[in-house]
């Protein structure tokens, strides 16, 4: 089958391999562009969250490329993500596309349904041992990508030649992408590490430390967040991201982990509110404890859990003395606007740092 | 006597009779904030994070009204009422948003209402109430019995077409208003779909309900659809929505479309409401199946009454015209 999947960050390298090893023809949606967004926005409800719109747009683009089915994950609420698939399907049907959306719901919920959907993906010829190998390879690949990306974020803010890390990291992705077997992937990973660590850097440079939190899609997809992390790194900031791809897989398919984050959030929010709402609060607390200078919260416009978090975060911020900047993102958000706000935020953090902890500082930030 | 303030917003329109009976039975005096007005809205807007939907902002405004007047403020955390769904995350986080988003509040009375496991859920709830209000379990459980009776009476009045205000007047003052819904010779029947806190807050929606009735149409709301019918409609979908109020709105829409002869649907939605983005699209697609006229009215703090009324008038004209044409 010609199958496409949600486009998010660098995950397509993994899905591509997974699907082709299962004997399908992966249709990799083009990395999102203005056109994707226009498509998605045109056919989505106005207040659908931005991930919904981008995904709809990229499904449409993948259909143009010949996709016959979409594979995606489901969910049981309380947020909207779990309802993306049924609504995407209905909107596509209304537009006249009878595309099959294969939804992998959390297996613990309904084992039979999970299995039924899975069967559509896994051809009968593939034995369980083989399947496990395929999954294992995908997992190794995913972790290799995460590892190299983390490393690139350590290096970029210190690079001596502007843009070098980004170029090298792109090369790393290609290496990993081309690797098939576990040992090939490991070799590619080593090679990637070598390439990245060879980049000349300024070891002495003093960096501000900013944590990036928020809703997973907008955190992971640079097209939507306008490369926030790289922008920050260009401003001399060590930007730590709370979420990587592997976290997403864990969160979607397996057990809910992240106990420490939840514990940290408890005093402020006593209920799971879906999405990454609780995480956003917990991570703010943890970044404060780890001595970070500030936090940037990324949220889709009208994102319910992040709005709940945003209404609580000022208290956390005041109490723990960590400034938080919230950026709501939608199809109208432009890079220039984001950049200006980040620069202002970084300036404030620098001032605060120079003055030592300043009390008046805390009142400015949560605009 | 300890006083408990009840914000006249959000779940007030749905569950007030239950809590009134319970809390008064436990010897508390209830102070309900006034009906929403400009001042309340403005206060809510200034207190709440500006990205919140207007119903939550209004809730904040009502909390401000009660501040300084009462010993405790009632901010329930609605999680599950045993219909297989939950509530919008803003309901789930409501007490926390109020507690950490506002200053100078008296303690909150914020029971967590999770009736997913039926008997166990009621029991836990009773325990929470008993602890929070310092009374014994038996009296709380007895209160619940009474409360459920009051709630059943209220629900059946709503089902019969009384708006919450009329139903409560009837229950608490014995005043016999007329069930609204029915105009004598209606020019058409319109399903007015929206969350109770949008449909029945006259200030928020610019008196939508009476405006429609004034235009001579028969109005059907989700509260007037039998709950069992409404849920059997939801079960027809490949997957139901996750949110209680949203399922009620969608289910009512599907029920009225398939079982009742309606001439149009007006969906009263809230600006920047997450669940509504989905409900609205689904309703629109359902209405399209039946070629039923469909109007969306989106409420926010700037929606003017005049604008709403003009659009309603145009819609009703269109409905009437379609009807006449169908008869010719
Ligand atoms: S968490 Fe936010 S972005 Fe994700 S589904 Fe919910 S509202 Fe949409
Ligand atoms: S359902 Fe919509 S209007 Fe109601 S609280 Fe949630 S976001 Fe606000």
R_g of chain B, CA atoms, integer Å: 20
Question: Using a CB cutoff of 8 Å and minimum separation of 24, what contacts does A185-191 make?
Answer: A185/A137, A185/A140, A185/A141, A185/A144, A186/A140, A186/A144, A188/A144, A189/A144, A189/A147, A189/A148
Tell me the longest C-alpha to C-alpha distance in chain A: 67
pLDDT tens, position by position, B101-114? 998 999 999 999 99
* Cα–ligand 2 centroid distance for B126 (angstroms): 27
Per the structure, the complete domain to which residue B49 belongs is given by 3-168
> Are B46 and B73 in a shared domain?
yes
- Integer Cα distance of A153 and A358 in angstroms: 29
A307–B52 CB contact, under 8 Å: yes
- Integer Cα distance of B297 and B212 in angstroms: 13
SS (H, E, C) B56-112: HHHHHHHHHHHCCCCCEEECCEEEECCCCCECCHHHHCHHHHHHHHCCCCCCEECCE
Give percent above pLDDT 70 in chain A.
Answer: 93
pLDDT for res B180:
54
Chain A: which residues have CB within 8 Å of chain B? Answer: 44-49, 76-80, 82-83, 86-87, 90-91, 94, 268-275, 277, 301-305, 307-308, 310-312, 314-316, 328
B92–A272 CB contact, under 8 Å: yes
> Are B21 and B157 in a shared domain?
yes
> Are B102 and B27 in a shared domain?
yes
pLDDT for res A359:
42
Q: B59 near B94, Cβ under 8 Å?
A: yes
pLDDT for res B287:
96
Q: B119 near B80, Cβ under 8 Å?
A: no
- Integer Cα distance of B322 and B300 in angstroms: 30
> Are B194 and B321 in a shared domain?
yes
> Domain boundaries in chain A?
2-126, 129-206, 207-367
CATH class of segment(s) A207-367: alpha beta
DSSP label at residue B193: E
Whether ligand 1 lies within 6 angstroms of the CB of A215 is answered as yes
pLDDT classification of A126: cutoffs 50, 70, 90: confident
B161 within some domain: yes
> Are B269 and B124 in a shared domain?
no
Segment 242-301 of chain B within 8 Å of chain A by CB: 242-243, 271-278, 280-282, 285, 288
B176 within some domain: no
**Chain B partners within 8 Å of A304 (Cβ):** 88-90, 274-275
pLDDT reading at B71 higher than 90: yes
> Who among B112, B237, B242 is closest to A82 (CB)?
B242
pLDDT tens, position by position, B128-184? 999 999 999 999 999 999 999 999 999 999 999 999 999 999 999 877 666 554 556
Q: What is the mean pLDDT of residues B208-233?
A: 93
Query: Would you call the peptide bond into B217 cis, given omega within 30 degrees of 0 as the criterion?
Result: no
Cα dihedral A88, B84, B95, B204 sign: positive
SS3 A233: helix
pLDDT tens, position by position, A280-337? 999 999 999 999 999 999 999 989 999 999 999 999 999 999 999 999 999 888 899 9
pLDDT classification of B1: cutoffs 50, 70, 90: confident
Whether ligand 1 lies within 6 angstroms of the CB of A49 is answered as yes
Contact B90/A at CB under 8 A: yes
Q: What is the residue with the minimal CA distance to atom 3 of ligand 2?
A: B273
At residue A83, what are phi and psi to the nearest 5 degrees?
-105, 5
B254 within some domain: yes
pLDDT tens, position by position, A26-75? 999 988 999 999 999 999 999 999 999 999 999 999 999 999 999 998 87
Please report the ipTM that was assigned to this predicted complex: 0.90
Residues 6+ apart with CB under 8 A from B163: B180, B200, B209
Return the best residue to mutate from A306, A308, A309, A327 for the ligand 1 pocket (most ligand atoms within 8 A of CB). A306
Same fold, A2-126 and A207-367: yes
Which residue, of B168, B200, B218, is where some domain finishes?
Answer: B168
Query: Among residues B41, B21, B30, which one has the least CA distance to residue B149?
Result: B21
Structural domain count of chain B? 2
Which residue, of B136, B168, B200, is where some domain finishes?
Answer: B168
pLDDT for res A303:
94
CATH number of the domain within which B206 lies? 3.40.50.11900
> Are B84 and B194 in a shared domain?
no
> Are B145 and B204 in a shared domain?
no
- Integer Cα distance of A131 and A284 in angstroms: 39
B92–A78 CB contact, under 8 Å: yes
pLDDT reading at A199 higher than 80: yes
> Are B88 and B193 in a shared domain?
no
> Are B195 and B137 in a shared domain?
no
Return the best residue to mutate from A47, A51, A84 for the ligand 1 pocket (most ligand atoms within 8 A of CB). A51
> Are B68 and B146 in a shared domain?
yes
Q: What is the mean pLDDT of residues B305-321?
A: 91
Q: What is the pTM of this model?
A: 0.92
> Who among B93, B238, B278 is closest to A80 (CB)?
B278
> Who among B85, B274, B282 is closest to A304 (CB)?
B274
Among A105-114, B5-14, B97-106, the range scoring the smallest mean pLDDT is: A105-114
CATH of domain A2-126: 3.40.50
Q: What is the residue with the minimal CA distance to atom 6 of ligand 2?
A: B88
At residue A45, what are phi and psi to the nearest 5 degrees?
-60, 150
In this structure, which ligand is nearest to the CA of A298? 1
Average predicted confidence (pLDDT) for chain B: 92
Query: Among residues A267, A273, A327, which one has the least CA distance to residue A304?
Result: A273
Q: What is the residue with the minimal CA distance to atom 5 of ligand 2?
A: B90
Q: B56 near B48, Cβ under 8 Å?
A: yes
Name the token pair of A2: 């010609």
In this structure, which ligand is nearest to the CA of B60? 2
Name the token pair of A187: 């070799």
pLDDT for res B125:
95
Among A108-122, A213-227, B214-228, the range scoring the smallest mean pLDDT is: A108-122
> Are B36 and B126 in a shared domain?
yes
pLDDT classification of A255: cutoffs 50, 70, 90: very low
pLDDT reading at A5 higher than 50: yes
> Are B240 and B118 in a shared domain?
no
Which residue, of B168, B193, B224, is where some domain finishes?
Answer: B168
């Amino acid at each position: 089958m010609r199958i496409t999947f949600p486009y998010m960050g660098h995950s397509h390298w993994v899905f591509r391999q997974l699907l082709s090893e299962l004997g399908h023809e992966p249709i990799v949606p083009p990395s999102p562009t203005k056109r994707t967004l226009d498509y998605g926005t045109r056919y989505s409800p106005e207040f659908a969250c931005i991930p919904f719109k981008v995904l709809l747009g990229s499904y449409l683009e993948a259909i143009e490329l010949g996709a016959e089915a979409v594979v995606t994950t489901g969910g049981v609420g309380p947020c909207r993500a779990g309802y993306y698939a049924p609504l995407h399907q209905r909107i596509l049907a209304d537009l006249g596309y009878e595309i099959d959306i294969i939804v992998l719901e959390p297996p613990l919920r309904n084992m039979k349904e999970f299995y039924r959907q899975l069967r559509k993906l896994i051809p009968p010829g593939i034995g369980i041992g083989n399947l496990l190998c395929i999954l294992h390879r995908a997992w190794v690949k995913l972790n290799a990508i995460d590892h190299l990306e983390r490393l690139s974020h350590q290096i970029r803010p210190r690079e001596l030649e502007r843009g070098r890390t980004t170029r090298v990291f792109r090369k790393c992705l290609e290496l990993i992408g081309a690797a098939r077997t576990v040992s090939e992937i490991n070799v590619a990973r080593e090679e990637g590490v070598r390439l990245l660590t060879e980049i000349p850097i300024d070891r002495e440079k003093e960096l501000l430390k900013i944590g990036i939190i928020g809703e997973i899609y907008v955190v992971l997809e640079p097209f939507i967040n306008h490369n926030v992390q790289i922008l920050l790194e260009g401003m001399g900031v060590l930007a730590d991201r709370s979420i990587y791809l592997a976290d997403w897989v864990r969160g979607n398919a397996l057990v809910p982990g992240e106990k420490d984050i939840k514990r940290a959030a408890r005093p402020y929010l006593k209920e799971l509110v879906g999405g990454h709402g609780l995480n956003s609060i917990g991570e703010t607390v943890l970044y404060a404890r780890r001595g970070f200078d500030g936090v940037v919260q990324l949220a889709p416009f009208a994102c319910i859990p992040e709005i709940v978090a945003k209404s609580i975060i000022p208290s956390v911020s005041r109490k723990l003395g960590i400034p938080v900047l919230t950026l709501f993102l939608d199809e109208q958000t432009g890079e220039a606007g984001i950049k200006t706000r980040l620069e202002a935020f970084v300036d404030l953090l620098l001032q605060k740092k120079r003055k030592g902890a300043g009390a008046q500082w805390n009142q400015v930030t949560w605009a | 006597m300890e006083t408990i303030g009840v914000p006249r917003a959000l779940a007030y329109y749905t569950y007030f009779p239950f809590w009134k009976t319970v809390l008064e039975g436990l010897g508390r005096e209830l102070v309900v904030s006034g009906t929403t007005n400009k001042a309340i809205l403005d206060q809510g807007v200034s207190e709440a994070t500006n990205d919140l939907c207007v119903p939550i902002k209004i809730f904040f405004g009502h909390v401000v009204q009660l501040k300084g007047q009462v010993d405790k403020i009632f901010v329930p955390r609605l999680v599950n009422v045993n219909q297989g769904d939950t509530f919008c995350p803003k309901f789930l986080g409501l007490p926390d948003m109020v507690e950490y988003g506002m200053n100078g509040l008296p303690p909150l009375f914020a029971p967590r209402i999770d009736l997913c496991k039926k008997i166990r859920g009621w029991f836990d709830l009773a325990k929470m109430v008993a602890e929070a209000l310092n009374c014994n379990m038996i009296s709380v459980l007895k209160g619940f019995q009474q409360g459920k009776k009051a709630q059943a009476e209220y629900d059946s009045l709503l089902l019969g077409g009384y708006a919450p205000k009329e139903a409560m007047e009837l229950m608490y003052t014995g005043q016999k208003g007329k069930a609204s819904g029915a105009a004598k010779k209606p020019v058409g029947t319109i399903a007015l779909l929206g969350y109770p806190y949008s449909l029945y807050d006259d200030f928020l929606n610019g008196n939508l309900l009476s405006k429609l009735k004034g235009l001579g149409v028969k109005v059907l709301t989700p509260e007037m659809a039998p709950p069992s019918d409404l849920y059997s409609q939801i079960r027809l979908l490949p997957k139901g929505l996750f949110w209680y109020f949203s399922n009620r709105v969608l289910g009512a829409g599907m029920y009225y479309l398939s079982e009742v002869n309606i001439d149009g649907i007006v969906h009263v939605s809230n600006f920047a409401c997450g669940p509504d983005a989905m409900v609205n699209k689904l309703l629109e697609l359902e209405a399209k199946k039946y070629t039923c006229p469909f109007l969306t009215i989106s409420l926010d703090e700037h929606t003017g009454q005049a604008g709403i009324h003009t659009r309603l008038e145009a819609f009703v004209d269109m409905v009437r015209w379609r009807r006449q044409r169908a008869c010719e």
